[in-house]
Structure 1
Amino acid sequence: MEKLLRVRDLEVHFATRTSLWNTLTGKPPKAVRAVDGISFDLAPGEILGLAGESGSGKTTTGKGILRLVEPTAGSVNFLGEEVRDFKRERLRKFRRDAQIILQDPFESLNPRQTVFHIVAEPLKVNGITHRIQEQEEIVDQALVDAGLDDPRMFYYRYPHELSGGQRQRVAIASTLVLNPKLVVADEPVSMLDLSISAGVVKLMLSLRENRQISYLFITHELSLAWLVADRIGVMYLGKMVELGTADEIIKSPLHPYTKALVSVIPVPKRKVIQNAKLLQGETPDPINMPPGCRFHPRCPVAKPSCRDIIPEFREMSSGHWVACPEVE
């Protein structure tokens, strides 16, 4: 099957502020290696979950793919074209096909605009149509597809007049008007109540079926990734440490970090989480990364060699990859 997206060795680094002394002596500034050489594919209509703790590089990966932040190195191939080579006009066309849903809909929606203007704005910006009647038809369909069954009732409301779930559905509608092939969903339900988030997740899954939308679903909840995604990639400090089908990651995790995340997933009717593999210590400073394997300061099975060797990302079985030399 042709891949919608191929990411190879993607890196996104951010330079830090440097002191006057370092500037005068010519010492280069240190860099935060937010994303440091990750690779994966995404098929049409597939959902790939990116999971991991805060600071693991999940959001930066999504923004780097869309070039909302510029990648430092690597390749992002979308339908056979290199996204990093796109110039201004081609990049604008690419962003019709690749959209993002941000974490907080209240912050991402313009408080000065009505729902109609928020959803219709991409149509005007991208020159799709400037006719009001056509805009209304497209906006109506987008709002209905986003789960707002009486769209005209919301036309002249402002974001502060909507509930959290309604705001997120408006945000989803504003991506649907361009009929994208790829959506980066950055923690799309983390700001919502559980009952509301379940409805938004169900909506996104139905849109995948009806429109063949591919999702890069970013979340810190491994249990949610299991529910939503076809495959899951687990990230730690800018590295992909494990990648496989959702069932493989949850039922047969290989990497010690993945095992620790899986062990604390809550199970219904179980009051105490038994055999939880709680990680010791703090996440290392991203400016001063530990040598060798980045997980070794917190790893329960680390060996002295882990401090010196950067683990290779190996395919242990068909489609199941892991970066740990201790896994056989």
Structure 2
Amino acid sequence: MVAKKTVKAPANSTGILEVRGLRKAYKTRGSLVTVLNGVDFTVGDNETVGLVGSSGAGKSTIGRIIAGLEQADSGSMDYLGQELQAMKPNERRLAAKSIQMIFQDPYESLSPRMTIEQLVSEPLIIQKQGKDRSMRRQLVLEALEEVSLTPPERFIDRYPHELSGGERQRVGLARAFICRPRLIVADEPTSMLDASLRLELLQAMAQLRERHRISYLFITHDIALTRNFCDRLLVLDKGEIVEAGNSGTVIDHPQHQFTRSLIQALMDLNRI
């Protein structure tokens, strides 16, 4: 049995995000439950970093803290040279407006009362981009085109319930992309899609990265998805990063027992 220890990702001189000592605990039934216990990692410019672990390991909590939806108890987050943790909420929103998030459930993350145009243009309105509705509509059409919802005119006036699950998740990707972010936090974006739709979504994300130098923090419980999509892999267990490295190396030559168990579970599943 390999002893559990915290592993620090190697420093990246061109990193856009540097997370150090991130800690988070929740109060449950009168007691504190530690979810994150000193998490360290970097995300480089135009890099895709995979974050894998079992349910309850703290993956989504990390993503929500980076996206500004939750606050860490302690630690630091340097994003493009600015320390986000030390900022007041309004300052943080301004400093990190180029961070966007894709959520796990395309059925719940998109309001059923809004058209696709309204959903995708909402970030433009929040960030006060696009001088009028006509310009925003054009930007929405371009964003839908970028994620292969074509022709975009066929989708723009529809509602989420009129789209398939794969199309909804592409809408979520277009919504995250429309303000031209530097970093997208993708929280289990493929978990509710079948195998072919997963591949299509990953291809769309890879194309956006290639065209626009977007970085991703790709959160998933499926380690198999990370091999060809992610540059580096972080393995999270019980709130700590226990292994980090090149995706292929981590998968082919896992050093930690927990990583081995994830890979063994995948192999067992493939035998069924």
The alignment's TM-score, normalised by the length of structure 1, stands at 0.76
User: How do 1:118-137 and structure 2 match up within 5 A?
Assistant: 118-137=119-138
**Aligned equivalents of 2:130 and 2:89: distance in 1?**
20
Work out which of the residue numbers 17, 22, 29 in structure 2 matches 1:5. 17
**Separation of aligned partners in 2, 1:141 and 1:189:** 23
Question: 2:68, 2:93 within 8 Å by CA — same for their partners in 1?
Answer: no
Q: Report the alpha carbon displacement of residue 267 of structure 1 after superposing the two structures with TM.
A: 8.8
Amino acid of the structure 2 residue aligned with 1:186: D
SS in 2 for 1:84: coil
Matched, 1:52 2:64: no
What is the CA distance between 1:95 and its match in structure 2? 4.0
Distance of 2:205 and 2:239 partners within structure 1: 27
- Could you give the per-residue CA deviations for residues 274-299 of structure 1, whole angstroms, max 9, x where no partner exists? xxxxxxxxxxxxxxxxxxxxxxxxxx
CA deviations 1:172-202 (Å, max 9, x no partner) are 1111111000010000010011111110011
Deviation (angstroms), 1:91: 2.2
User: Does 177-186 or 58-67 show the bigger shift?
Assistant: 58-67
Which residue of 1 is the match for residue 4 of structure 2? none
Equivalent of 1:14 in 14, 19, 26:
26
Contact 1:123 1:130 in 2 (8 A): no
**What's the secondary structure of 2:202's corresponding residue?**
helix
- 2:122 & 2:71 partners in 1: Cα distance? 25
Q: Is the 8 A contact 2:79 2:96 kept in 1?
A: no
> C-alpha separation between the residues in 1 aligned to 2:258 and 2:78?
29
Identity of aligned residues (%): 38
Map 1:1-328 onto structure 2 (within 5 A). Answer: 1-18=13-30, 30-266=31-267, 271=271
How far is the alpha carbon of 1:271 from its aligned partner? 4.0
Distance in 2 of aligned mates of 1:245 and 1:211: 23
Residue type of the alignment partner of 1:49: G
Structure 1 residues not aligned, in runs of 5+: 19-29, 273-328
Q: Which one scores higher on RCO, CA 8 angstroms, separation ≥ 6? A: 2
Distance in 2 (alpha carbons) for counterparts of 1:195 and 1:3: 32
Per-residue CA deviation, residues 46-97 of structure 1 (Å, 9 max, x unaligned), is 1110111101110101111222111000000001110112234432223420
Letter paired with 1:32: V
Q: Distance in 2 between matches of 1:57 and 1:131?
A: 40
Normalising by structure 2, we get a TM-score of: 0.91
Conserved 8 A contact 1:124-1:130 = no
Q: Is the 8 A contact 1:101 1:175 kept in 2?
A: yes
Q: Could you tell me whether the CA contact under 8 Å between 2:15 and 2:42 is conserved in 1?
A: yes
CA distance in 2, matches of 1:148, 1:267: 36
Q: Which has the larger radius of gyration?
A: 1
SS at match of 2:267: coil
Find the residue that maps to 1:110 and give its secondary structure. coil
Structure 2 counterpart of 1:298: none
Q: For structure 1, which segment, 5-14 or 85-94, has the greater mean C-alpha deviation from structure 2 after superposition?
A: 85-94
Measured in 2, the distance between the counterparts of 1:257 and 1:116 equals: 44
How far apart, in 2, do the equivalents of 1:120 and 1:217 lie? Answer: 24
Please give the alpha-carbon distance, in whole angstroms, between the structure 1 residues aligned to 2:62 and 2:121. 28
Counterparts of 1:116 and 1:65 in 2: how far apart (Å)?
Answer: 26
Separation in 1, partners of 2:80, 2:96: 13
Secondary structure of the 1:4 match is: strand
3-state SS in 1 of match to 2:15: coil
Give the letter aligned to residue 76 of structure 2.
Answer: S
**Cα distance in structure 1, aligned partners of 2:65 and 2:195:** 29
| 1:245-265 deviation digits (Å, cap 9, x = unpaired) | 101101111111111212233
Superposed CA offset, 1:15-45 (max 9, x none): 2232xxxxxxxxxxx2111111110111101
Per the TM alignment, residue 124 of structure 1 is displaced from its structure 2 partner at its CA by: 1.1
Query: How big is the shift at 1:136?
Result: 1.4
Q: Distance in 1 between matches of 2:271 and 2:199?
A: 23
Q: Contact conserved, 1:96 with 1:179, CA < 8 A, in 2?
A: no
* Cα distance in structure 2, aligned partners of 1:271 and 1:104: 28
